[in-house]
Amino acid sequence: MRQKRIYILLIFLLGATLLLAYTRERVVSKDFNLNVLRSQVTSPVPSERTFPNFIDLVKKVKPAVVNISTTTIVKGPDLREWFFGGRGPFDDFFGEYFERFFGDIPQREYKQRSLGSGFIIDKEGYILTNNHVV
């Protein structure tokens, strides 16, 4: 009985698909004129506007570009401070959890390095750079 229902459903779906495909072709063919659309398509016109040539600009400002590298000695992370940003409403719970699970977390020192670039903007040597570089 179950197989009979599946066969009937499949035959119905196949018939519905064929019917929709046939009527779609009839509706599109009657109202759709591809030649009208082809006549409306035009070829692109080259723009009179050109992009600036950056070669001369780079040659001019290249001596002002600087490399910025910094090294800072930082003490090792306090996980509670790192995860939660200091004492918060859940510090009592999480503080106990970290102490029970990790124990006393030793502090260590390590070198933190950063690298960036900037531009010399003044004869006195002032450098313009993004805030996150230094």
Together in a domain, 63 and 114? yes
CB atoms within 10 A of CB 133: 14
The verdict on residue 47 lying in a domain is no
pLDDT greater at residue 61 or residue 88: 61
pLDDT for residue 23: 73
Residue 17 phi, psi (nearest 5): -65, -45
On whether both 60 and 36 belong to a single domain, the answer is: no
DSSP-assigned states of every residue in 47-100: PS--PPP-HHHHHHHGGGEEEEEEEEEEEPP-HHHHHHSSS-TTHHHHHHHHHH
Note whether 85 and 32 are same-domain residues: no
d(CA 61, CA 111): 33
Direct distance between the N- and C-terminal alpha carbons of the chain, in angstroms, rounded to an integer:
77
91 shares a domain with 121: yes
Do 30 and 91 lie in one domain? The reply is: no
When pLDDT is averaged across residues 15-32 and rounded to a whole number, the result is 71
Q: Does the pLDDT value for residue 127 go beyond 80?
A: yes
Residue 70 belongs to a domain: yes
What confidence category does residue 27 fall into, taking pLDDT thresholds of 50, 70 and 90? low
The residue segments making up the domain with residue 12 are: 2-40
Residues 66 and 31 placed together within one structural domain of the fold: no
Q: Which of 4-8, 48-52, 63-67, 74-78 has the lowest mean pLDDT?
A: 74-78
Does 59 lie in the same domain as 13? no
Residue 134 resides in a domain:
no
pLDDT for residue 55 is more than 60: yes
Give a yes or no: residue 97 inside a domain: yes
Task: Supply the pLDDT for residue 119.
Answer: 87
Number of compact structural domains in the chain: 2
Q: Are 66 and 127 spatial neighbours (Cβ–Cβ below 8 Å)?
A: yes
Task: Tell me if 106 is assigned to some domain.
Answer: yes
